């Protein structure tokens, strides 16, 4: 059985941590962008709309509080992976832009609302 550390050494693979505890892995090449991963996650998670979501890098600051860096859609995955592996960051798929009307989100995209609920529940 592989150790967790060995999984970090797989070249051209980005691990994305989901709010429900799952980890999705993405292989990439030099042309793959953050947007490509977002669209794939939209499909895999059966989300209708992803405008409230973003890929973020999470890291612990010296004060031990968690900080998040939003990734830009056009950013190459090679750059993201370099930062996550060498600076101890994790890549997360999060609701980063809270909907103006959560009830409307529930009506339009129940899967996105459920993801938001899990994220908020875990934070509390």
In a domain, 2, yes or no: no
Strand pairing class (90-95; 53-60): antiparallel
Does residue 3 lie within any of the structural domains?
no
This prediction has a pTM of 0.81
The total of structural domains in the chain comes to 1
Is the CB of residue 52 less than 8 Å from the CB of residue 105?
yes
100 part of a folded domain = yes
Domain that holds residue 101: 12-123
7 in a domain, yes or no? no
Q: Return the HEC string of 55-71.
A: EEEEEECCCCCEEEEEC
Instruction: Write out the chain's pLDDT in tens, 124 residues.
Output: 334 443 445 678 888 999 989 999 999 988 999 999 999 999 999 999 899 999 998 887 667 677 888 999 999 988 887 776 657 788 999 999 999 999 999 999 999 999 999 998 876 5
**Angle, CA of 18, 46 and 57, to the nearest 5°:** 25
CATH assignment at residue 21: 3.10.20.90
Q: What is the pLDDT of residue 82?
A: 75
Q: Is 4 inside any structural domain?
A: no
pLDDT at residue 4, as a whole number? 44
């Amino acid at each position: 059985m592989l150790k967790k550390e060995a999984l970090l050494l797989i070249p051209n693979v980005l691990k994305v941590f989901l709010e429900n505890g799952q980890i999705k892995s993405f292989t990439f090449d030099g042309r793959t962008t953050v947007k490509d991963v977002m669209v794939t996650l939209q499909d895999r998670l059966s989300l209708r709309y992803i405008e409230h979501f973003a890929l973020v890098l999470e890291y612990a600051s010296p004060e031990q509080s968690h900080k998040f860096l939003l990734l830009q859609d056009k950013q190459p995955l090679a750059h993201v992976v370099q930062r996550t592996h060498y600076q101890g960051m994790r890549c997360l798929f999060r609701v980063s832009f809270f909907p103006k009307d959560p009830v409307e989100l529930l009506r339009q995209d129940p899967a996105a609302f459920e993801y938001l609920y899990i994220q908020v529940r875990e934070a509390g």
